């Protein structure tokens, strides 16, 4: 099992039309709102985009995650990836816009949008009612994409549609033969993150953000323990 690969999940774009009602029912039974669907598909997978968007529209789910047509590779000119991503989202939104379902692009390492400003290069071409951004301080604190959070929030403005909260920090690695010190990156509690989380939450509040904040913590620790710590810290920071 891996959170990023072999995910044990029997929900898919192929059956979400039949299963979305079940998701809504179970969430309601536990008193949970649905922020959106954390789907893992590319904007050029149009059949899957249609299946998920139609299920969201039918069951009142406001948005789903949608990625670029491919990940970033150093061998490719980054400008080409941006152009192809914009073209793919144009086609995807032709499907989702009439259904009044929003797509959200996640700030994530190794993608077209490692940072807030990189995400803006894509989403600025679209209406924020139909394409938004997951402002992910976990990925922004893990080696790629760090920017002052207030700058990122101001730049994205109405495109900030969801927030992922997770901790990350640098750890000193080996020194190479050429003398360069290398660095590694590890996930950690929000209280130990390189990003000042209370400052970030205050910045969100000052800008009128009133949507969900999802905790992201993939460390192999008991779920109740690690999520309990993060939730307690977030609640204290929010006052």
Q: In this structure, is residue 126 part of a structural domain?
A: yes
Q: In this structure, is residue 63 part of a structural domain?
A: yes
Average pLDDT over residues 190-203: 96
Closest by Cα among 130, 95, 125, 131 to 13? 95
Q: In this structure, is residue 9 part of a structural domain?
A: no
Print the domain residue range for 204.
16-172+182-238
Split at pLDDT 50, 70, 90, the class of 12 is: confident
Q: In this structure, is residue 67 part of a structural domain?
A: yes
Q: In this structure, is residue 23 part of a structural domain?
A: yes
Q: In this structure, is residue 8 part of a structural domain?
A: no
Q: In this structure, is residue 1 part of a structural domain?
A: no
Average pLDDT over residues 9-35: 91
Q: In this structure, is residue 94 part of a structural domain?
A: yes
Question: pLDDT (tens digit, 9 = 90+) per residue, 121-153?
Answer: 999 999 999 999 999 999 998 888 899 999 999
Q: CATH code at 93?
A: 3.20.20.150
Report the percent of the chain where pLDDT is more than 90.
90
What total of structural domains would you count in the chain? 1
Residue 161 has pLDDT above 90, yes or no: yes
């Amino acid at each position: 099992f891996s959170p990023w690969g072999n995910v044990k999940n029997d929900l898919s774009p192929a059956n979400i039309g039949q299963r979305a009602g079940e998701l809504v029912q179970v969430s309601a039974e536990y008193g949970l709102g649905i922020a959106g669907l954390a789907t893992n598909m590319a904007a050029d997978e149009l059949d899957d985009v249609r299946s998920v968007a139609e299920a969201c529209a039918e069951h009142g789910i406001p948005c789903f995650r949608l990625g670029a047509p491919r990940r970033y590779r150093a061998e490719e000119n980054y400008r080409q990836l941006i152009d192809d991503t914009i073209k793919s989202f144009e086609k995807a939104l032709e499907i989702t816009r009439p259904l009044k379902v929003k797509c959200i692009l996640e700030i994530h390492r190794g993608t077209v949008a490692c940072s807030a400003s990189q995400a803006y290069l894509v989403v600025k071409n679209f209406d924020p009612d139909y394409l938004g951004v997951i402002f992910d301080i976990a990925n922004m604190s893990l080696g790629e994409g760090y920017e002052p959070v207030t700058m990122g929030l101001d730049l994205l403005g109405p495109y900030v549609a969801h927030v992922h909260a997770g901790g990350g920090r640098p750890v000193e690695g080996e020194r190479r033969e050429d003398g360069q010190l290398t660095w590694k990156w590890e996930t950690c509690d929000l209280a130990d993150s390189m990003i000042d989380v209370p400052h970030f939450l205050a910045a969100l509040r000052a800008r009128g953000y009133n949507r969900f904040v999802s905790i992201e913590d993939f460390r192999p620790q008991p779920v109740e323990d690690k999520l309990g710590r993060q939730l307690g810290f977030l609640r204290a920071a929010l006052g």
